[in-house]
Structure 1
């Protein structure tokens, strides 16, 4: 079954969704880098996952093909959690559901699971949620690169993505960032001291310990944005039921760099 796209009204703007497949329902939530969206974050795994599960990948408000938040603050964790809950209801209004979240999307997934008891499986990839101090790569991820050369440098040297970047990928991402003043919107989303956005993504240890669902964590050994030790291991310590998998020779976006390993672990986690 092919992946289909649609827009859904949400809080005065629109949420863009990618949907497909049959079976156990899984919501996918992307990360927060410049120009990221479901179509790029999950480029290598969205369709393969849809062959075994019913998937809905949402563009968070302010990202991809979704609309923009009408008024500041544009960084709004509470809004993104409400959006995720709305997306879960679209995906499957009743019964058990799973969530896959990457980076900031992992923190959104965790908060959503704490509010929606029928979430019974979580897959967290390079997830925020426990990290205390901002890293330089995260800080640079929350500023629009000035040109294609800077974007390539950001991917290869800042977040250390090892796979080759095609001209199509780079030009497409930069075109999105330049469209209709989106670069200004994105920079305004992360205006000022960026440590506060890491702080806003943290979830208290007592709250995390209340989480009852199955948790699978997939983390790149060389993740520079959310380091394996400070981010991955720290979060795993707060989630006693979590299985933590460390992927060697892999940076921040595991599903983008090592999709075959990601798919094997996702199928193990989702059943």
Structure 2
């Protein structure tokens, strides 16, 4: 169970024949949906430190996206439109009319895309190192050829053979301060990389969304259309989504705030969960 807390529960929802595992917490307050990132991520990994504290004032829902965690992993194309459609069905299944969204990385892209399509159903939007704040990847053409090659999936299998390499990757990409990375988390990611088809969903997503000239789903050029209150949280040392994209998004999204988490990389919610929770809670409670 997420966070090893008795205050958190799990429910299973069937959406279009896909069994979706969803963690829940909190009985009162406005509804908030947390969407995790890609790779071998899950709701448990991304949100275990922050979900319970946030549930004191809000009803929290954290699904494992299809292809991740304890949810089904169907053999489908995991495109951004697939996940936006999934989110709509999830909100309907939870009998929620309007929600706040907190999206990390891939989850941020889903949240941005959903808000552009269904703004009337979004109370507030919080994106963390979000996919979609950019129109191209760093070294885009090289990245395009890499994700189209067999080496994309092979990289997960190769990583699963070396715990030291897994730890190095986490420090290189996700954590700014080595002291904030626990050995328990290294072990958890190392174990997940050994699972059959580890990274399959993200590889499918990359092949669907990354073209030779840019991203298939254009979000960055539509940021001016977002009209809901938006908080952009970003690690100041994020190399996966360089901080310049967060600063540009802040200028483009009219009713937005930018909060840089100093010294953090791509997982600020795990690196400094107390600070992250405080910033998010303050934003959610604003009138």
Question: The TM-score by the shorter chain falls in which range?
Answer: 0.7 to 0.9
Flag structure 1 segments of 5+ consecutive residues without an equivalent: none
1:270 aligns with 2:284: yes
- Partner of residue 250, structure 2: 236
| Per-residue deviation, residues 237-264 of structure 1 (Å, max 9, x unmatched) | 2212111111211111111111122111
Q: Distance in 2 between matches of 1:124 and 1:3?
A: 23
Rate the CA distance shift 1:68–1:91 in 2: closer, same or farther, 3 A.
same
**Aligned: 1:154 with 2:169:** yes
Alignment: residue pair count = 262
Q: Distance in 2 between matches of 1:103 and 1:259?
A: 16
Do structure 1's residue 30 and structure 2's residue 61 form an aligned pair? no
Distance in 1, Cα, partners of 2:176 & 2:18: 33
- Match for residue 271 of structure 2? 257
State the alpha-carbon separation in 1 of the partners of residues 14 and 94 from structure 2: 15
CA deviations on 1:48-88 (whole Å, 9 max, x unpaired) are: 111110010111111111111233x2x31111111111222
1:1-271 map, 5 Å: 2-21=7-26, 22-32=28-38, 34-71=39-76, 73=77, 75-94=78-97, 96-116=98-118, 117-135=120-138, 143-144=155-156, 145-146=159-160, 147-162=162-177, 163-179=179-195, 181-183=196-198, 185-186=200-201, 188-189=203-204, 195-196=210-211, 199-200=215-216, 202-205=218-221, 207-229=222-244, 231-271=245-285
Please report the TM-score for the alignment, with normalisation by the length of structure 2: 0.82
Aligned partners of 1:215 and 1:242 also within 8 Å: yes
Question: Which stretch has the larger CA shift, 145-154 or 106-115?
Answer: 145-154
1:201 to partner: Cα distance: 5.2
Counterpart contact for 1:49–1:263, Cα < 8 Å: yes
Report how far residue 161 of structure 1 moved.
Answer: 4.0
CA distance in 1, matches of 2:243, 2:115: 22
| Preserved contact between residue 103 and residue 128 of structure 1 (Cα < 8 Å) | yes
Distance 2:92 2:85 in 1: 11
Q: Shift of the alpha carbon at 1:151?
A: 1.1
Q: Distance in 1 between matches of 2:133 and 2:237?
A: 18
The answer to whether the 8 A contact 2:180-2:271 is kept is no
Q: How far, CA to CA, are the matches of 1:92 and 1:100 in structure 2?
A: 18
Shift of 1:225: 0.6
SS at match of 1:9: strand
Question: What CA distance in whole angstroms lies between the structure 2 residues aligned with 1:193 and 1:29?
Answer: 20
Alpha-carbon contact 1:216-1:244 (below 8 Å) kept: yes
CA separation in 2, counterparts of 1:187 and 1:102? 14
> Secondary structure in 1 aligned to 2:194?
helix
Distance 1:256 1:124, change over 3 A: same
> TM-score, with normalisation over the residues of structure 1?
0.87
Q: Distance in 2 between matches of 1:191 and 1:261?
A: 31
